[in-house]
Chains A and B, each alone.
Chain A
Amino acid sequence: MKAMIRGNESIAYAFKLARVQVVPAYPITPSTLVPEKISEFIANGEMNAEFIPVESEHSAISAAIGASAKGVRVGTATASQGLALMHEVLFIASGMRLPIVMGIGNRALSAPINIWCDHQDMMSARDTGWMQFYAESNQEGLDLGIMAFKIAEDPRVLLPAMVGLDAFVLTHTVEPVEMPEQKDVDDFLGEFKPNYVILDPKKPATLGAFAFPEHYMEFKYGQWIAMQQAKKVIDEVFEEFENRFGRRYRKVSGEFMEDAEIAIVTMGSMTGTAREFVRKLREKGEKVGLVKITTFRPFPKEELISVLKDVKVVAVMERNISHGFGGAVYAELGSAFVNQPSRPKILDFIVGLGGRDITFKTFEEVYGVAKKAIENDVDEVNWVDVNKEAVLKAEGLL
């Protein structure tokens, strides 16, 4: 069934179709519409769930842990500062191996305060032990939202998952989607049955114990193993989803890559623009390809190496920065390749922070530098579309 929905609604519909039973959530731009839509579904009798209008995001994720530990399917949504406020509890949710799913409206972090799109929020949470998926479109947000439950709840995994949708570009933009039927999602997900120890007076257990050095590291290794298992489970779920719903997802998707000398790597909504840019260049005979990363955690090392190993230059375009080094995708991709016998030159392009538009002009600049890099030395980390002169003046360097 076709529907016209905003990205926020795709998360809300994913929760509705997945029959989420508890949604603790707090409003924050741009994810506010998710709890609003959930509240609407419940008020209309369309969704049989408890909505908790918590008093902060920290309490949202805390209540999510409480509900998940009680043995129900849980979902929540946040963005930016809200995700940052949750930070200490994110590690706990993963350490406690609870399959919570969270929608993220990828938004810049203060300071300065900014409500528009970038990936700093979710990138800054990549160490928390949560699986991470980036949606290119509202359809992807909806599908990944549904799949996230199946992957997270798999007894081989039992890790929480985040699904990111770009602020405003996706969250607030109406796009046509194919809305799965409730009974098909029921068949796909099955009835929720916690594959983990829960809070149950009939079988009293202690959750969240205090671990001494003798044991703590084993619990961390358990999460590590779960992430390794997740690689396999994600592929299985992506395949099953295609069989049932007809849409194919991959951890890493290569397009126009056959004889590419330059590969542009993207995540999220900028992929759509990238695709058009690359298509146009290909028409002109340029040997350029596009690699989209959908799954960032677990990091799809094998898939990225496989699709990128034969290119000359990789141009990573990313909407996040770790000051003093570079972007996260660049860092991890470089690390993935460092011991490989065949490795391309990897360049970092910091783009689109704080909602700065990523246009064909941005891509042209990126491609220009990447092409130059084939034969020449260029800067490894490049900030694109930035008024560098004004900044250097402000910093007293001009």
Chain B
Amino acid sequence: MNYENQEFFAPGHGMCAGCAAPIVVKWVLKLAGPNTIVVNATGCLEVATTPYPRTAWRVPWIHVAFENAAAVASGVEAAARAKGEKLNIIAFGGDGGTADIGFQALSGMVERGHNVLYVLYDNEAYMNTGIQRSSATPWGAWTTTSKVGRANPIGELRPKKPIARIIAAHNASYVATANPAIFNDFKKKVEKALQTEGAKFLHVLSSCTTGWRHDPSKTVEIMRLATDTGIFPLYEIENGDIENMRITYKPKEFKPVEEYLKMQGRFRHLLKNPEYVKKLQEDVNAWWEKYGHHYKK
């Protein structure tokens, strides 16, 4: 049954104008359909969509705390199994609630193989508390806890944590990186994940107009650039077979990273120094040198 023309995520919520997270959520739910339970970690999505007594959710939804969406989802799944019920159990968490404070619970859920789809909507910082760095914050990004100044002209000094690979190394049944701006690839991956048994993990890029400092109208364009510059590659890994990961999308021609950086205020300081832009370009080139062969038409 096709539910793409129904809305399981209602308007009237408080997400910022131009936030990508609702785009991700509405499509995941359209593809999952109404036989779905959502578990949500504390964060932008949870707070802005459920201010008592109003809710944007048209499917059963539960929020417990910041770091335990995967553990709560494990419990929901076990209860469904105990009653012999078949339904989609989808956990949504931001990068903070997934790769940092939520990491242990996620690792446990995936290791035990619960039949849950975990969707990470990655806006690359703790946005709900006002743009603090997380392990998903990329090198060179300004955040309120990776500030730029005389003593630190770079901002975030650590590279982005490769959370998808880490979860794939748990032998999760299906792990993929996805980008709503590369829509057909995103859609296929969500569908594939929903059809796979076991623990599934989708690392979805989700641009943040407020934290990345860009015009809200540019949300989709910026996300597209993230992948078209090669910065956010799109791949999938089945059953932990990292050696045979499949890169599912390759831009016909890679755009220079500078095009991505200059659209966002959080990288403005990097553009002042060509060495930094060069380093980022080299990092991207190196990744594609090393892994590019995983792309097969």
Question: What is A's interface to B at a CB cutoff of 8 Å?
Answer: 21-22, 24, 48-50, 52-56, 58-60, 62-72, 74, 88-89, 92, 96, 198-201, 203-212, 215
Contact A209-B79, Cβ < 8 Å, known A55-B105, A66-B62, A92-B65 = no
Q: Does B249 contact A (CB under 8 A)?
A: no
Q: A63 is contacted by which of B46, B61, B63, B74 (Cβ under 8 Å)?
A: B74
Q: Does B83 contact A (CB under 8 A)?
A: yes
Residues of A within 8 A of B39 (CB): 66
Contact between chains at A55 and B108 (CB < 8 Å) = yes
Q: 17 new A-B pairs (CB below 8 Å) besides A74-B75, A201-B35?
A: A22-B79, A22-B82, A53-B112, A55-B105, A58-B71, A59-B105, A65-B75, A66-B71, A66-B77, A67-B75, A67-B82, A92-B65, A201-B34, A203-B60, A206-B62, A209-B50, A210-B52
Contact A212-B34, Cβ < 8 Å, known A55-B111, A58-B68, A64-B75 = no
Shortest distance between the CB of A3 and any CB in chain B (Å): 26
In the bound complex, what is the Cα–Cα distance between A63 and B62 (angstroms)?
Answer: 12
B interface, size bucket = 35 or more
Contact between chains at A66 and B107 (CB < 8 Å) = no
Contact between chains at B76 and A69 (CB < 8 Å) = yes
In the bound complex, what is the Cα–Cα distance between A65 and B47 (angstroms)?
Answer: 19
Offer 28 A-B interface pairs, CB within 8 angstroms, sorted by A. Answer: A21-B83, A22-B79, A24-B74, A24-B75, A49-B82, A50-B81, A52-B112, A55-B107, A56-B108, A58-B71, A58-B105, A59-B68, A59-B108, A65-B75, A66-B75, A66-B77, A67-B79, A69-B76, A89-B65, A96-B64, A201-B36, A204-B57, A204-B61, A206-B57, A206-B61, A209-B50, A209-B51, A209-B63
Residues of A within 8 A of B47 (CB): 210
**Which of B53, B58, B61, B79 is packed against the most chain A CB atoms within 10 Å?**
B79
In the bound complex, what is the Cα–Cα distance between A63 and B112 (angstroms)?
Answer: 13
Contact between chains at B61 and A207 (CB < 8 Å) = yes
Give the tally of cross-chain contacts (CB within 8 A). 156
Q: Does B124 contact A (CB under 8 A)?
A: no
Residues of A within 8 A of B16 (CB): none
Q: B82 is contacted by which of A50, A58, A88 (Cβ under 8 Å)?
A: A50
Q: Does B80 contact A (CB under 8 A)?
A: yes
Shortest distance between the CB of B275 and any CB in chain A (Å): 43
Contact between chains at A52 and B74 (CB < 8 Å) = yes
Contact between chains at B75 and A63 (CB < 8 Å) = yes
Shortest distance between the CB of A54 and any CB in chain B (Å): 6
Residues of B within 8 A of A68 (CB): 75, 79
Shortest distance between the CB of B82 and any CB in chain A (Å): 4
Q: Please, which residue of chain B has its CB at the minimum distance from the CB of A64?
A: B75
Residues of B within 8 A of A209 (CB): 50-53, 55, 63
Shortest distance between the CB of A62 and any CB in chain B (Å): 4
Contact between chains at B57 and A54 (CB < 8 Å) = no
Interface residues of B in 20-52 (CB under 8 A from A): 34-37, 39-40, 46-47, 50-52
Shortest distance between the CB of A212 and any CB in chain B (Å): 7
Residues of A within 8 A of B80 (CB): 70
In the bound complex, what is the Cα–Cα distance between A206 and B62 (angstroms)?
Answer: 6
Q: B83 is contacted by which of A58, A60, A72, A210 (Cβ under 8 Å)?
A: A72
In the bound complex, what is the Cα–Cα distance between A58 and B73 (angstroms)?
Answer: 13
In the bound complex, what is the Cα–Cα distance between A22 and B34 (angstroms)?
Answer: 24
In the bound complex, what is the Cα–Cα distance between A92 and B75 (angstroms)?
Answer: 15
Residues of B within 8 A of A49 (CB): 82
Q: Please, which residue of chain A has its CB at the minimum distance from the CB of B77?
A: A66
Q: Does B87 contact A (CB under 8 A)?
A: yes
Shortest distance between the CB of B73 and any CB in chain A (Å): 6
Contact between chains at B76 and A66 (CB < 8 Å) = yes
Q: B79 is contacted by which of A62, A70, A204 (Cβ under 8 Å)?
A: A70
Residues of A within 8 A of B36 (CB): 201
Q: Does B205 contact A (CB under 8 A)?
A: no
Residues of B within 8 A of A48 (CB): 82
Q: A62 is contacted by which of B37, B50, B59, B65 (Cβ under 8 Å)?
A: B65
Shortest distance between the CB of A319 and any CB in chain B (Å): 30
Residues of A within 8 A of B62 (CB): 65-66, 69, 199, 206-208
In the bound complex, what is the Cα–Cα distance between A211 and B47 (angstroms)?
Answer: 9
Q: Please, which residue of chain A has its CB at the minimum distance from the CB of B51?
A: A210
Q: Please, which residue of chain B has its CB at the minimum distance from the CB of A203?
A: B60
Q: Please, which residue of chain A has its CB at the minimum distance from the CB of B72?
A: A66
In the bound complex, what is the Cα–Cα distance between A161 and B79 (angstroms)?
Answer: 20
Contact between chains at B65 and A205 (CB < 8 Å) = no
Shortest distance between the CB of A74 and any CB in chain B (Å): 8
Contact between chains at A21 and B82 (CB < 8 Å) = yes
Contact between chains at B78 and A67 (CB < 8 Å) = yes
Residues of B within 8 A of A74 (CB): 75, 79
Contact between chains at B74 and A66 (CB < 8 Å) = yes
Shortest distance between the CB of B257 and any CB in chain A (Å): 38
